[in-house]
Structure 1
């Protein structure tokens, strides 16, 4: 029972760290954010953290970056379809951007997420190490 409670607290903490970081990135880039981005950021951060926690083999750092950028883009697409298309909240619209998909994601941002993903990967690993007593992170670049 204690382990379930500890895991719940751990993932709530990671969720909010990722969510607030995601909102911060958005505020820095466009000047404002939305509560849906806190949720999307939390989901992304937890998903990225699980890449090397639950994988049957150790992924290289570059592989984690590639998969992380796909995860973030996928979560943004799903969030956009729910928030903007289904609920009609019009929080963002990439229709005027090249290589957009339904105006909800822009494939150019996949590359931006690729280069920002090391922040999430390393942050998750060291939060787990420093605050939760998990094993010290080690990375294999390729």
Structure 2
């Protein structure tokens, strides 16, 4: 999961930078939430189903798919995606002198 978290954080930056940080935050959040959820599903199938590590199990949660993803955690990941989008943009600006991100709500 740590590897997936790092991959997702890099995705947050790449998707924002590739659009010049001009897309509305809600579109970036939607894109990142889908990416994170897809990554969690793929990682869950590999880690929990194939390797039998039983790291997490959402089978008791509402609106779940194969016990690997569920809507309540997708909502949580959307909030974390917003934080990741802002953090990745400003870290790139302050640490690597990239273009300063300008965020738009609509």
- On whether the aligned pair clears a TM of 0.5, the verdict is yes
1:79 and 2:43 aligned: yes
Root-mean-square deviation (CA), in Å?
A: 1.5
Runs of at least 4 residues off by over 6 Å: none
Cα distance per residue 1:77-136 (max 9 Å; x no partner): 011011001111111111111111101111221212222222100110011001011011
Report 1 or 2 for greater relative contact order, CA contacts < 8 Å, sequence distance ≥ 6: 2
**TM-score between the two structures when normalised by the length of structure 1:** 0.70
8 Å CA contact 2:32–2:81 kept in 1: the answer is: yes
Q: 5+ unaligned residues in a row in structure 2: which ranges?
A: none
What are the within-5 Å matches in structure 2 for residues 105-120 of structure 1?
105-120=69-84
What are the within-5 Å matches in structure 2 for residues 38-117 of structure 1?
38-55=2-19, 58-117=22-81
8 Å CA contact 1:61–1:140 kept in 2: the answer is: yes
In structure 2, distance between residues paired with 1:119 and 1:130: 16
**TM-score between the two structures when normalised by the length of structure 2:** 0.92
Q: 5+ unaligned residues in a row in structure 1: which ranges?
A: 1-36
3-state secondary structure, aligned to 1:70 = helix
What are the within-5 Å matches in structure 2 for residues 32-43 of structure 1?
37-43=1-7
Give the structure with the larger helix fraction: 1
